Amino acid sequence: MAALVLDSLVKRFESTPVVDELSLEIEPGEFVALLGPSGCGKTTTLRLLAGFETLSSGQVSLNGRSLAHASLHLPPEQRRMGMVFQSYALWPHMSVADNVGYTLKMRHIKGDEYRRRVGQALETVQLASLAERMPQALSGGQRQRVALARCLVTEPEVVLLDEPLANLDRHLRASMEETFREFHRRTGATMVYVTHDQSEAMSLADRIAVMKSGRLAQWATPETLYRRPRNEWVARFIGQGSILRLPDVTPGRAIPGAELMSLAMHHECEWDTPVLVRPEQVRLGSTGLPARVENCIFRGERYELWLCLNSGQRLFAYHHEALPIGREVRLVLQQGWSLEPEA
């Protein structure tokens, strides 16, 4: 049985649907990312799970117990979930220890038990030495870890994270990602992580729900999303690559290199089916399809090339050295993935 079930969630603000018929079944202990461009409804979905927003229709249930449906709305204080906010939401008038212990106080846990659990939570995020500090005296990363400890202290079954890394600089992000991974491994909690950053979602999540305009675009593991995206929009949103329009292929099929190359040579057909070619599937060599270098950009570890095929279609590739613009090259395609056309 799935731990957290979202069943046809709909949320309308003044009759415009922000979340539209969203259904997900999340396994216990799974790390799930809600990924999408801004305004896709991912944060609203998270707030529906927490209970800050009321459902327009649909149902949320946890371990078979309904949290919210058309005639029921369990308030957030009774859902016993943990949440890490984008702004951390540390109470500025309470010390680090008081912030962490507040949830325990609400559950009437006092005395030694209280001190033990606060100490333990702070130790887990390596902040035991800062217990008496006020939040204003902490750095961004430390604040984030206090917010995590606050979640940790009551061992909730579900932890919600709302773009927790958005306010941190790039170097801190990498180390905080590791902290989240560690946190997930230790607690075994079900985690729902909202982000607009695909690399963050890909590196952290077991499964990713890609959202577009309030609807679920695809619900899959990171590998599947990268290798076998369902449609053109997901393919463009996740990772890099180029999309060729090729005749006579059915969507949702891996196309072997030979077939791909012979199709790509034709150019007097109806260009109807989009086919995704990731840059690592393009090899430059002495044989294969002729193409011309249109642009060449240095990215440190490699060069990125934009190539133009004879048929006029453009192709994105990696190369180990710089090539002058206009140079004629030959290339081999190893594999492609055919997509549903954009709706």
Please report whether residue 46 would count as binding other proteins according to CB under 8 A.
no
Tell the burial category of 39 from Cβ atoms under 10 Å away from its Cβ (0-12, 13-18, 19+). middle
Please report whether residue 65 would count as binding other proteins according to CB under 8 A.
no
Please tell me the distance from the alpha carbon of residue 259 to that of residue 215, in angstroms, as a whole number.
Answer: 34
Q: Which residues lie across from 254 on neighbouring strands?
A: 337
What tokens does 72 get? 């029921």
- Pairing status of strand 190-195 against strand 158-162: parallel
Q: Which is nearer to other proteins, 94 or 332 (CB)?
A: 94
Please report whether residue 15 would count as binding other proteins according to CB under 8 A.
no
Non-local CB neighbours of 223 within 8 Å, separated by 6+ positions: none
Non-local CB neighbours of 116 within 8 Å, separated by 6+ positions: none
Measuring CA to CA, how many Å separate 21 from each of 25, 51, 56, 320? 13, 18, 10, 46
User: Applying CB under 8 A, which of residues 102, 271, 303, 318 lies at the interface with other proteins?
Assistant: 102
Please report whether residue 89 would count as binding other proteins according to CB under 8 A.
yes
Please report whether residue 130 would count as binding other proteins according to CB under 8 A.
no
CB of residue 93 to other proteins, shortest distance in Å: 4
Please report whether residue 143 would count as binding other proteins according to CB under 8 A.
no
User: Applying CB under 8 A, which of residues 16, 38, 64, 92 lies at the interface with other proteins?
Assistant: 92
CB of residue 102 to other proteins, shortest distance in Å: 5
Please report whether residue 69 would count as binding other proteins according to CB under 8 A.
no
Q: Which is nearer to other proteins, 54 or 175 (CB)?
A: 54
Please tell me the distance from the alpha carbon of residue 22 to that of residue 201, in angstroms, as a whole number.
Answer: 19
As a whole number of Å, the end-to-end CA separation of the chain is 33
Q: Which residues lie across from 95 on neighbouring strands?
A: none
Please report whether residue 207 would count as binding other proteins according to CB under 8 A.
no
User: Applying CB under 8 A, which of residues 64, 75, 312, 324 lies at the interface with other proteins?
Assistant: 75
Please tell me the distance from the alpha carbon of residue 50 to that of residue 224, in angstroms, as a whole number.
Answer: 28
User: Applying CB under 8 A, which of residues 22, 40, 42, 79 lies at the interface with other proteins?
Assistant: 79
CB of residue 145 to other proteins, shortest distance in Å: 15
The DSSP secondary-structure symbol of 341 reads: P
Please report whether residue 186 would count as binding other proteins according to CB under 8 A.
no
Please report whether residue 86 would count as binding other proteins according to CB under 8 A.
yes
- With CB under 8 A as the rule, give the number of residues binding other proteins: 26
Residues forming the site for other proteins (CB under 8 A): 50, 52, 54, 73, 75-83, 85-87, 89-93, 102-103, 106-107, 150
